[in-house]
Structure 1
Amino acid sequence: MYYTKCLCIATNGTATRGSCDGEVCGSGGYITFVIFLFLTLFLTFVIAIPVLQSTIRIVPFTQRSFAVGVQWLFIRALGTIPGPLLFGFVLDQACLLSGESCGSQGSCSVYTNDSISNNVLILVIVLKVVGIIFYSLAFITYKPPPESPDATEDVTLDSSATPKKEVAMGNGIEPASDNLEGEVNSAFEADNTQL
């Protein structure tokens, strides 16, 4: 379908139905995009294990699972809830033409590609900078606990604190022999000789 005598088109006043062809990406545009996408994904996922390791090493041994749970609670609360809202807001800002439904604004029909790319890039850079600031503050403000002789060990095993093996015999509890296997074998042999 052709539209003629369009006042908003300066060249010849004609238009065809459909979306306009976008500008061709300049030389190296796709390669630059792939490089930036790789760096963004790399920086996002490369920090996951070091953050988990630092959380595990900082808290006491008995509170590690609780600390990891709290860490993931904050990650989910601060990432998965406002994240889609922020990216949705950025996409809405790049809308050129919105549809209408029953007199109210509907979903976007045409986006401005340049605005989408610029807005998403700026949002990702801002979020990465905020993340780097928080990681840096955590590194700067961390104060290790006072040094102790077994500071590097999670659990210290003291031979004097190890409980002795005990078995219930008769009415009282008597310590079991260290050679329990030998006693069982000799009892088994005694039963075999009686048969």
Structure 2
Amino acid sequence: MQKNNNSNHVITEGKAYPGKCFKICWWQNLILVGLFFVIGTTFMCAVPGVDLSLRCFPQHLRSLAVGVQWILIRTLGTIPGPIIFGAMIDSTCQIWNKRDLCAEGLGSCVMYKNQELSFSLLILSVIYKGASILFFGLALLSYKPARLVATESSPSHHRVTESPM
């Protein structure tokens, strides 16, 4: 099977058929399960992350802590994330559509290396998810809970102190 560079037709033994030439990808099920795991754990970690912030900070700093947490998440995720994933997607392009010979840039991608694209996106997602799990684990290991001390007015009211256990 051969791809004709001048048109969108596939040439097979002297016959041309319209459409893209593709083959069965045996990695597809593994990649779909991996992406499901990565996306699922991303959504399952959002609420515990906020809960950790609410438990680790005193009452008067909780709203500030959650605000700073979401600023960091949005800044570190929404600015470099699309740039890195876009570069990864662009690196797997086989044929670029050159819009205009005078214009700068490559234009849009006409055909990707599907297996390389799916595998590289899965690997990048797993690396980021692994780093996230590592940092959550380090936070768990380094966390030392504050002590609850009864106030003089009532034993049922407790206040959080900064003294070590």
Q: TM-score, normalised by structure 1?
A: 0.63
Mapped to 1, the partners of 2:33 and 2:15 lie a distance apart of 37
Partner of 1:109: 110
CA RMSD of aligned residues (A): 3.1
Partner of 1:183: none
* Partner secondary structure for residue 97 of structure 2: strand
Mapped to 2, the partners of 1:51 and 1:116 lie a distance apart of 31
* Partner secondary structure for residue 149 of structure 1: strand
Amino acid at match of 2:51: Q
1:62-93 deviations in whole A, cap 9, x for unaligned? Answer: 11111110110001001111111111011001
Mapped to 2, the partners of 1:15 and 1:84 lie a distance apart of 41
1:90-117 deviations in whole A, cap 9, x for unaligned? Answer: 1001100112133342111111101111
Selected match of 1:55 from 45, 53, 62: 53
Partner of 1:149: 149
Partner of 1:170: none
Mapped to 2, the partners of 1:22 and 1:73 lie a distance apart of 43
Amino acid at match of 2:56: I
Shift of 1:31: 4.7
Selected match of 1:99 from 92, 97, 100: 97
Amino acid at match of 1:69: G
Shift in alpha-carbon separation, 1:95–1:12, aligned structure 2, 3 A: closer
Q: Gaps spanning 5+ residues in structure 2: where?
A: 5-10, 159-165
Shift of 1:21: 2.2
Mapped to 2, the partners of 1:24 and 1:39 lie a distance apart of 23
| Matched positions, count | 144
Mapped to 2, the partners of 1:12 and 1:46 lie a distance apart of 48
1:3-82 map, 5 Å: 14=14, 16=16, 18-26=18-26, 31-82=29-80
Shift in alpha-carbon separation, 1:94–1:19, aligned structure 2, 3 A: farther
Partner of 1:125: 126
Shift of 1:41: 2.1
Shift of 1:150: 3.8
* Partner secondary structure for residue 102 of structure 1: coil
Runs of 4+ in 1 over 6 A off after TM superposition: none
Question: Which deviates more from structure 2 when the two are superposed, residues 101-110 or residues 68-77?
Answer: 101-110
Mapped to 1, the partners of 2:12 and 2:40 lie a distance apart of 49
Structure showing greater radius of gyration is 1
Shift in alpha-carbon separation, 1:71–1:44, aligned structure 2, 3 A: same
Shift of 1:143: 2.9
The percentage of counterpart residues that share the same residue type is 33
Mapped to 1, the partners of 2:123 and 2:29 lie a distance apart of 19
Selected match of 1:83 from 75, 81, 84: 81
Mapped to 2, the partners of 1:120 and 1:44 lie a distance apart of 15
